[in-house]
Amino acid sequence: MQHLRLKILLFLTIALIAIVYYYSNYNNNSRKISDINIHISPIDNLYITKDSIKSTVENMFDFNKKTSRLKNIERDLNLISYIESAEVHFSVGGKLNLSIIQREPIARIITNDSMFYIDKNLKHISLSKLFSPEIPIVIGTNWHKNKQHLIKALHLIKKDDFLYDNVTQIFFDDFNNLKLKLKKYKSEIIVGGANNIEKKFNNLKAFIVREKSKKLNYEYKHISLQFENQIVAVK
């Protein structure tokens, strides 16, 4: 008899905990919104604004008539291409708090029929009317066949001040050779394959410094970095 009472007591305790958890979770995830607090990071170079996020949330849900579920808000915000992640929670009084991390474009892709940014993970980002970053432009569709080659080059360009300030265009030829265009220089830079790409970039910088010291006009048609220990410049 005593054993049966313990089982019943245990069952009722578990049931009560489950009910409390359910209603607590329901109240936290589904309630009316009184106000919205929005934090966006990083704060520099905003491709989205607090007003645009607030307007998006307001268009998703009726503040006055309907309750709003956190999971639905997070899901819909994370579908926006500018947003890398969105976390949502309620505070006292029904205030909705949004923590937004925006994606950071590292290149602009231009093809015959489309134009968009890509981030470090090659995720597509729509163009923004709010901000247009000065980042390399990738021309054509061949980059799709050379994604790893491209992302490696972009990471090296981003962390190098000279390359980041001077590389304006990136494209791949029909043989999958990476080629660059630089500011102020008419030369086509032929990087070639993905092997030793960091060394090739260092050779390019050394070559430009050397040529600059000679006060030349950089009127080379091609500058090839494809060979191991030499640069071939064709006028």
Q: What is the pLDDT of residues 187-227, one digit of tens each?
A: 899 999 888 999 999 999 988 888 877 655 557 888 999 88
Q: What is the pLDDT of residues 72-85, one digit of tens each?
A: 788 888 888 889 99
Taking 60 as the threshold, does the pLDDT of residue 42 lie above it?
yes
pLDDT at residue 202, rounded to an integer = 93
- Print the domain residue range for 119: 107-234
**Is position 155 within any domain?**
yes
| 181 shares its domain with 91 | no
91 and 173 housed in the same domain: no
pLDDT of residue 18: 44
Helices 2-29, 70-77: crossing angle, 10 deg rounding:
50
Give pLDDT, residue 20.
40
Domain boundary residue, one of 102, 134, 164: 102
Mean pLDDT of 99-110: 92
Counted domains in the chain? 2
Mean pLDDT, residues 89-98 taken together: 79
In a domain, 116, yes or no: yes
Name the residue with higher pLDDT: 115 or 25.
115
Q: Is the pLDDT of residue 64 over 60?
A: no
Does residue 81 lie in a domain region?
yes
What secondary structure does DSSP assign to 180-230, as a single string? EEETT--PEEEEESSTTHHHHHHHHHHHHHHHHHTT-----SEEE--SSS-
Q: What mean pLDDT do residues 148-174 have?
A: 93
